[in-house]
Amino acid sequence: MSLFENAPWYIELILTGIAVCLFFIMRNYGSRFAYSHAIKNGIEKGRVRYTLKVINFGWALAFLIALGLIWDIKFQHISFWLASFATVAGVALFAAWSILSNITASVILFFYHPMRIGERVKIMDGDNSVSGRVRDINLFSIIFITDDNRTVVYPNNLAIQKPIQLLKNEEVVIPEEPEEKIVAQEEAGVGAKAK
C-alpha cells in the first residue's frame, strides 16, 4: 500500500521537489557547519573535504530512501537483484570492515578531538606507544613523524580507542645526523658543505 495511493499525481512531484530542496539545504548547512568548525578549531581544509564527502554520502543515501518512499518503489520486484547484491556486498563489507571503521573514526576525530596537523602528540598504548609530530590525518590513518625521523602510519579506528596526549610544551630532542649521512649528502651535492 502506497503512502500516497489516493493522492493526485502532482502531490508526488511536490514532495519530490521538497525532498530535493531539503537535500541541498542540508548539504549546504552541513558544509557551512563543517567549515565553521574547522575555522574555529584550526583544522586544515583537506580534512574538511574528507569529512564532507562522508557526510554528503549519508545525505544522498537518505535522499534516495525518501524518493523511494515518495514514489512507492516496490522492492518485491527487485528482490532477486537485491539478494544477489546483498550477498556480494556482505562479502565485500566483511573484507572492508576495517576500512569503514577507519572512515567513521576519521569523522569522529574531525569533530571531537583537539589533535591537529603539525602538533606533537602521543598515543598511549603501553609498550606500543607512538609519539611524534602529526604530518597528516586522512580518511584511513594518522601519519606521524617521530622524534627520530621515522614515519609511522596509525589507523584511525585504533586512535579513537586509545588515550591521546597533546605534547605542546615538551621540548623535542632531535638526534644528530650520523657523519655518514652528512658525507653522503655532500658527495651527492645535497646540503651545505662544512667549511
Q: Tell me which residue of 6, 64, 57 sits closest to 30, measured CA to CA.
A: 57
Q: What is the pLDDT of residues 52-94, one digit of tens each?
A: 888 888 888 888 878 877 777 665 555 666 666 666 666 666 6
Domains of the chain (ranges; CATH) run: 1-73 (no CATH), 74-174 (2.30.30.520)
Strand partners, 116: none
CA angle 81, 2, 26 (to 5 degrees): 80
Whether residue 11 has pLDDT greater than 50: yes
Q: Which pLDDT belongs to residue 24?
A: 92
**Tens digit of pLDDT for each residue in 110-128?**
887 767 888 898 988 888 8
pLDDT digits (tens, 9 = 90+) for 35-56: 888 888 777 777 788 788 888 8
How far apart (Å, rounded) are the C-alpha atoms in residues 49 and 134?
Answer: 18
pTM exceeding 0.75:
no
Q: What is the pLDDT of residue 151?
A: 92
**Separation between Cα atoms, residue 145 and residue 136, nearest integer Å:** 10
Residue with cell 569522529: 108
pLDDT cut 90: percent of the chain above it: 7
